């Protein structure tokens, strides 16, 4: 017989946005069976919530935990912040489908054994290893392009024939449980796929009632045009559109408002459009910061951007390469650093050094300050510091100021915006802890607690109930997962018990692998996954299939 559990004396914040109410929540097996004033005598186990908030577990619709959940099925950094469901395969990159070339590439890049090609195979690998949280996936546009065209995908746009092949693969992925198509049109090889091709692909997704989760072509100068393309794709194909990390980057000139309005208008016309945004970590001056590797300010927007990890230490020491990069700085108007008329030259103060193994005296300073301290141009200072790091220069990380609070709030506070942290799950133990920090890890531990801490408790920009809705009921509804995200009889028992006065992020730029506090218990499918700051080891997550 199923275990009967009662959570007593909770302040129930049910995920709908309605005001909290005092109540007890009964769980039988994996499901919530009753909510109200219930008799504890009827249950095998009673959990006293002691007046803390009892809310649905967090649903992150924009995750990059495709591989990390296989390495660390306990999903440590997610369970510990109350995340009970994630949607992977975002920004055009999913774990499946793969072809043999792409599979080999993934194995080399990620240092893991890939035991699948299709979506069905990927999902069953995850299922057989077990996972602590519920996990769903989109199908990445990159995967379709490379599977159909091989490495040619990086050199030319897809032909009609290629698009037909991609549609077939996408159809198969949808049959096997994918929630839709994701794109990252700012990146190669996806940037060569045009609107018509995307409409063709989204028509397949629409047949299944799926979602087009799009990282649009530009988040800077052309962000409004890029958002309009997402609307066009939705209107022409009939797909559900989800704009991901929805906002214009610094300095936006009010463009975030434009793209939020654009979706409002499109909804009036009947398009099922919504969006999600990351609660960026805010500095004292209202700048929203995002983690980055320190090689980024050097190569970003240059012809070396694509080389990424291949941009070797040797090249940093090659005076010709360094000279090219230096001379190219004024032309670079990429993303976070597009502020000044002189490109990167104006924005060194928006790069923060979090940690250098060989030169820790500069930790916490921005590149402008470091340049001044070293008596050098910030560019030369950074090259010197990276060369000093040696072969492990990629482990040096920092943060880049990418947005303003005003912009972040324009999307984040909108009723149709879910909160997502655009991160991979991480762990301070095992193989994941050995990986360089990079961008994703800096948000992996405490970004949801940070959202509650900053926007609800400190700034009172959102009510507790609204904030919970944005992390639970709303994302579930957007993804059509109608049996999760609420505290209601019949829903799966994914539940978080926490203290709204105590919840806080404890991760810092220098020490990012630190758990948050204020979360008392996390329950996944009726079983305790976290209790009093300990992971119970339970792997009760479900691999979610869209149909």
Q: How far is the CB of 459 from Zn ion (least distance, A)?
A: 25
Which token pair is 19? 């005001």
| Cα distances (angstroms) measured from residue 283 to each of 347, 405, 445, 461 | 16, 9, 18, 17
Q: How far is the CB of 427 from Zn ion (least distance, A)?
A: 20
Which lies closer to Zn ion via its Cβ, residue 90 or residue 491? 90
Contact predicate 256/409, CB 8 Å: no
The SS3 call for residue 87 is strand
- Rg (alpha carbons) of the chain, rounded to whole number: 23
Helix (H) or strand (E) holding 262: helix 255-268
Q: How far is the CB of 231 from Zn ion (least distance, A)?
A: 18
The SS3 call for residue 308 is helix
Q: How far is the CB of 402 from Zn ion (least distance, A)?
A: 12
Q: What is the binding site for Zn ion (CB under 5 A)?
A: 90-91, 215, 422
Which lies closer to Zn ion via its Cβ, residue 90 or residue 477? 90
Which lies closer to Zn ion via its Cβ, residue 120 or residue 273? 273
Q: How far is the CB of 242 from Zn ion (least distance, A)?
A: 12
Instruction: Give the angle 27-472-96 at the CA atoms, nearest 5°.
Output: 100
Which lies closer to Zn ion via its Cβ, residue 220 or residue 422? 422
Contact predicate 287/266, CB 8 Å: no
Which lies closer to Zn ion via its Cβ, residue 249 or residue 540? 249
Q: How far is the CB of 301 from Zn ion (least distance, A)?
A: 17
Contact predicate 36/23, CB 8 Å: yes
Please report how the helices 378-389 and 367-374 are oriented relative to each other, as an axis angle in degrees rounded to 10.
90
Which lies closer to Zn ion via its Cβ, residue 56 or residue 92? 92
Q: How far is the CB of 273 from Zn ion (least distance, A)?
A: 17
Q: How far is the CB of 215 from Zn ion (least distance, A)?
A: 3
Which lies closer to Zn ion via its Cβ, residue 33 or residue 442? 442
DSSP-derived secondary structure for 385-442: HHHHHGGGGGG-EEEEEEEEHHHHHHHHTSTTEEE---B----SSSGGGGS--HHHHH
Which lies closer to Zn ion via its Cβ, residue 90 or residue 147? 90
Q: How far is the CB of 422 from Zn ion (least distance, A)?
A: 4
Q: Where do we find the tokens 């009970």?
A: 84
Which lies closer to Zn ion via its Cβ, residue 15 or residue 89? 89
Which token pair is 150? 């091989």
Which lies closer to Zn ion via its Cβ, residue 400 or residue 524? 400
The HSE-up count of residue 368 (CA atoms within 13 Å, CB side) is: 9
| Cα distances (angstroms) measured from residue 18 to each of 50, 287, 544 | 21, 32, 27
Which lies closer to Zn ion via its Cβ, residue 140 or residue 378? 140
CA distance 212 to 140: 10
Q: How far is the CB of 244 from Zn ion (least distance, A)?
A: 6
Q: Where do we find the tokens 């839709």?
A: 180
Cβ atoms within 10 Å, residue 263: 24
Q: How far is the CB of 92 from Zn ion (least distance, A)?
A: 8
Preceding omega of 226 cis (within 30 degrees of 0): no
CB-based contacts of 481: which residues, under 8 Å, 6+ apart? Answer: 59, 85, 136, 544
Cβ atoms within 10 Å, residue 176: 21
Q: How far is the CB of 152 from Zn ion (least distance, A)?
A: 24
Q: Please choose, from the candidates 449, 432, 445, 428, the residue with its C-alpha nearest in 3D space to the C-alpha of residue 520.
A: 449
Which lies closer to Zn ion via its Cβ, residue 215 or residue 535? 215
């Amino acid at each position: 017989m199923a275990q009967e559990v009662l959570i007593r004396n909770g302040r129930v914040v049910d995920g709908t946005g309605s005001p909290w109410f005092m109540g007890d929540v009964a769980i039988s097996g994996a499901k919530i069976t009753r909510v109200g004033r219930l008799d504890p005598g009827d249950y095998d186990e009673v959990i006293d919530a002691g007046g803390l908030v009892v809310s649905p577990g967090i649903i992150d619709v924009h995750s990059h935990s495709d591989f990390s959940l296989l390495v660390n099925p306990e999903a440590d950094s997610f369970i510990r912040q109350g995340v009970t469901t994630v949607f992977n395969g975002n920004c055009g990159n999913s774990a499946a489908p793969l072809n043999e070339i792409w599979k080999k590439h993934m194995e080399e890049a990620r240092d893991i054994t890939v035991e699948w090609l299709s979506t069905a195979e990927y999902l069953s690998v995850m299922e057989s290893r077990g996972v602590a949280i519920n996990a769903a996936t989109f199908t990445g546009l990159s995967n379709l392009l490379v599977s159909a065209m091989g490495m040619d995908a990086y050199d030319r746009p897809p032909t009609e024939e290629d698009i037909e092949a991609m549609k077939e693969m996408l159809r198969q992925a949808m049959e096997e449980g994918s929630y839709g198509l994701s794109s990252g049109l700012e990146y190669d090889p996806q940037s060569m796929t045009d609107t018509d091709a995307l409409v063709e692909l989204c028509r397949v997704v629409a047949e299944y009632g799926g979602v087009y989760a799009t990282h649009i072509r530009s988040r800077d100068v052309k962000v409004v045009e890029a958002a309009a393309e997402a609307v066009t794709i939705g209107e022409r194909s009939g797909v559900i559109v989800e704009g991901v990390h929805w906002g214009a980057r610094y300095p936006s000139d009010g463009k975030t408002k434009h793209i939020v309005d654009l979706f409002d208008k499109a909804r009036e016309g009947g398009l099922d459009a919504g969006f999600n945004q990351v609660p960026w970590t805010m500095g004292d001056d209202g700048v929203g910061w995002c983690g980055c590797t320190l090689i980024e300010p050097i190569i970003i927007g240059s012809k070396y951007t694509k080389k990424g990890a291949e941009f070797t230490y040797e090249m940093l020491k090659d005076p010709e390469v360094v000279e090219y990069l230096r001379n190219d700085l004024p032309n670079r108007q990429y993303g976070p650093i597009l502020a000044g008329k002189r490109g990167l030259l104006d924005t060194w103060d928006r790069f923060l050094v979090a940690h250098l193994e060989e030169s820790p005296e500069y930790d916490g300073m921005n590149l402008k300050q470091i340049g001044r301290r070293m008596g050098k141009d910030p560019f030369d200072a950074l090259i010197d510091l990276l060369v000093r790091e040696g072969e492990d220069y990629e482990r040096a990380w920092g943060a880049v100021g990418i947005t303003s609070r005003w912009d972040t709030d324009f999307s984040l506070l909108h009723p149709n915006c879910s909160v997502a942290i655009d991160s991979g799950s991480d762990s301070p133990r095992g193989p994941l802890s050995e990986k360089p920090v990079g961008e994703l890890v800096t948000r992996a531990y405490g970004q949801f607690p940070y959202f509650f801490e900053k926007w609800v408790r400190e700034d009172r920009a959102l009510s507790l109930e609204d904030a919970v809705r944005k992390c639970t009921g709303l994302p579930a509804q957007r993804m059509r997962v109608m049996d999760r995200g609420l505290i209601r009889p019949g829903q799966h028992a994914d539940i978080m018990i926490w203290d709204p006065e105590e919840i806080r992020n404890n991760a810092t730029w220098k020490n990012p692998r630190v758990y948050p506090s204020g979360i008392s218990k996390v329950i996944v499918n009726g079983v305790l996954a976290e209790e009093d700051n300990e992971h119970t080891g339970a792997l009760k997550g479900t691999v979610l299939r869209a149909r």
